[in-house]
Structure 1
Amino acid sequence: MRQQLIELAGRLLAKGLVVRTWGNFSLKVDDTALLITPSGRAYDTMAPEDLVSVSLETKKALPDQPLKPSSEAPMHALVYLNRPKARVVLHTHQVYASALSLSPRELTVGQAHQAILGTVSIPVAGYGLPGTKGLHQHIEAALRSSTSDVVLMARHGALIIAEDIDQAIERAEALEEVCRAAYEKLIGRDGGVRDDLSYDNVLETALRDRRQVAYPAETLIVSTDDEVKQLPEGALKPYLDDFAQIVGVSVGHKRRGNQAVFGPDKAYTLCFGQDEQEARSVRAVLEKNARAAQVARIYRQNPIPAWECRLMRLVYHKKYSAMAGAK
């Protein structure tokens, strides 16, 4: 079972449904326990012995576990308690599902995807700070008010419930297709997506080569994403919680301690990290948050309050960022 969970993480990573340490996945062991990914451990270095067994009753790690479980372990336990047939739970931060989590209403599922997703509509659970009881309570309320096994988590990501691993991955991919179609219908254009986070177009490569010399202590990656360019004039605020954690409390034409800064007229964005992987993660979250901002603009949703953004960024840098680099 441990190897199955490691392979699941690898498949999700390869499909671009998760990156770095974002999200969490679990398998139901039996009626008393679940097996879940650890907190802050990068998926590409995670080993079977790193996985954590958690009690369904207490929602806490069983004795003598190697690492701390994901902070969302109680949410996974709630799923198994509310969905007796569930054997797999995915919590992903995939691009378009995260963007559509800014919708104030449930998402309608077209006929082509209803059989795969097992529902005609996808609820949006209320917003709560990551890992908090408030977030878990919103998830439980959504599970109890809907029979859907797919839930959008406001400003956060998606929750996918399945009876086996193949069904879970199939649902995650179908969800992204549904959400991308809904996004493009909402904004009236092709939303695009960077399928490979390591890909740089010719202009991005040229700009990186030219600008890197000015930042010798950091690694620089450039974004020329069209959805960032389409943003209204002014700073880009966090509409998704991982933007606040990883990128900063605001991105504009002056850096001000954030991990990204706009070039002239938003023609490009410079994204910074301690290494290339971190810089590419910053770019991925920036581009995802730009799409969330477009949805928020249409539905007149405000960004996450500044105090919450500062709190999340502080917690991330003190805890999760350090853990992600652990071997």
Structure 2
Amino acid sequence: MADPRPRVWVSQPLFDDVVERLGQYFDLDMTAEVTRHTPSQLAARLAGADGALITLNERIGAAEIANAPRLRAIANVGVGYNNLDVDALSAAGILASNTPDVLTETTADLGFALLMAAARRITESERWLREGQWGQWSFRTMLGADIHGSTLGILGMGRIGQGIARRGALGFGMRVLYHNRSRLPEATEAEVGATYVDLDTLLAQADHLVLVLPYSAASHHIIDAAALAKMKPGATLVNIARGGIVDELALADALANGRLAAAGLDVFDGEPTVRPELLALRNVVLTPHIGSASQATRRAMVQLAVDNLTAALDKGPHAGRPPSAINADAVHAARAGAAFVGAKKTDDAKR
């Protein structure tokens, strides 16, 4: 009798025509409706799966995979993966992957859109208009900040940060400063029109500061009350990275007391919950984590995740070589160790 086909769980409705390509190789367990899975529900779904295609909504760690002996791969539809306990997955020999590169330009578009909307008070103006207040217009109504010719600061200078730098320098004639864990090559700096500075200089000189750095323990609340106090009075802050990078209570206070002029936020600490202190403010533009939300880009992300999962489960033209694995080396080591232990137990039993 033929071996049963590997089973793949798909955690959320995505693009059926793309996801169903997995059906060429696997039996699919597809979630029909948008679902907020509890930890116990995640564990139950993963228990019988060989692979899983998940989104940032699913947080998976040691507890969720404890009873999933068949699970070999998790494909995350997103470039960030702080929803995954990568160390736990690696120790269990489970390959994790993400979807970088395909969302770079779309996310940079959204970052710049938030910068412009916040600095020019777009959503605040629309709200004011819809409330019927235009009759109270004066020459100083809704004065915002210029973008052209101003100083753009970028914290985190990966692909998305570089995309934002190009938009600022080439499109709006901005002076672009950046800070990153490591300095870019001179040729790349020249290409994107950016100058490297230390963090304090970045905070002090940026008229508009955009956060694009990865989330980690080291970057948690890197923008706190002390950092906000170092920023130029009346500056604009944009966060398209992760919510935990910013102390949101400190940010709300800086916006409420006029220390900062405005903010644009696409990410939040504790998503999908947004702090009421931020919701109450008019000088903050809020979007629900839509950085990559264009039709073409979201489809490309799902396609890359499908390719990753197919290859991670040793199927398809790239079998064994997923395009964007996160922890391949650690998984190989864990699987080799497990194989060694299993062989030793067999050998000992024969003696």
TM-score after normalising by structure 2: 0.25
- Asked which structure has the greater RCO (Cα within 8 Å, sep 6+), the reply is 2
TM-score after normalising by structure 1: 0.26
